[in-house]
Homo-oligomer: A and B are copies of this chain.
């Protein structure tokens, strides 16, 4: 309890029964205006607020949202965390933060979420097994994959329209005169990596252009090392399309270290539009993922499912836009 005082104390002071106090605070029940005022005054005087645990025990509901995150080193995700926290705070929900170190969330993480009977789960950059999904379904806990999808499985997902975005990027680079290009992916099996490559390759193919693909890991170091490798081979492409910004910054640094001029000798396009992409010395051309809009759609769905669980799934895809800067 938040302090020593409970509904009974308030009831006594207000001269009503304890259930009446409960009715005032829980809402949805009819209480006369007079009684309500008496109760609220007494509660105010005593500094009462309902015990969340007793409440949860009875209602089997909580006002806690589980947020699972992996890549805290990519500035995109702390930003996402912040936005979710602010949004949900306004709605009276709190965030249980779960950090996972695997691409697929682990049993212990799920146990935590279930133990606290979270009202909803948002996974920002990881996936989960079918079994785990069932655990959530069974408990009617709404689940959103944020910025991820899983092949052949239905989830409610919120992300950017990666196909459309990467097609646009390909067209943009071709129009800029690029022909021999490189695509650097993040972890190979992530939907974002796959989709971004797919749209990109489709357009190149249509223009009868090939491209080189390199695996990396969505990290600065990964982008840096991959670019180094490419540079060492002495085959500088006319453009790099990099699956996220933080890797693209690594690519830019590797190029700069080797005195390869951007955009004169090669061009670089990232994805996300993290703050750093706008820093003057990077000034990275990228595709904006509109975090606010993505967060809003996610919150809207979660709230609706909390209100009435349907288990409905859908792939929400926000458009986003190309942010043209100095690397192209």
Contacts and interface: CB of A to CB of B under 8 A. Distances in A.
Interface stretch (A113-121, A193-201, A284-292): A113-121
A96 interface: yes
Given A57-B53, A115-B52, A257-B280, A95 B97 contact: yes
A131 interface: no
A49 B112 CA distance: 11
User: Chain A: interface residue count, which band?
Assistant: 35 or more
B280 A115 contact: no
B89 A79 contact: no
A114 B48 CA distance: 12
B99 A116 contact: no
Nearest to A55: B53
A1 interface: yes
A220 interface: yes
Tell me how many chains of this kind the complex includes: 2
A117 B2 contact: yes
Interface stretch (A80-88, A160-168, A169-177, A184-192): A80-88
Interface in A245-301: 249, 253, 256-257, 275-276, 279-281
A253 B224 contact: no
Contact of A94 (B53, B57, B112, B257): B112
Contacts of A224: 280
B99 A96 contact: no
B73 A79 contact: yes
B78 A94 contact: no
Interface string A112-140: 10111100000000000000000000110
Nearest to A85: B99
A111 interface: yes
28 contacts: A1-B60, A1-B117, A2-B114, A2-B115, A2-B139, A3-B139, A49-B111, A49-B114, A52-B116, A64-B116, A72-B78, A73-B78, A75-B78, A77-B78, A78-B78, A82-B99, A85-B97, A85-B99, A94-B97, A94-B116, A95-B96, A96-B96, A96-B97, A220-B279, A224-B280, A253-B279, A253-B281, A257-B281
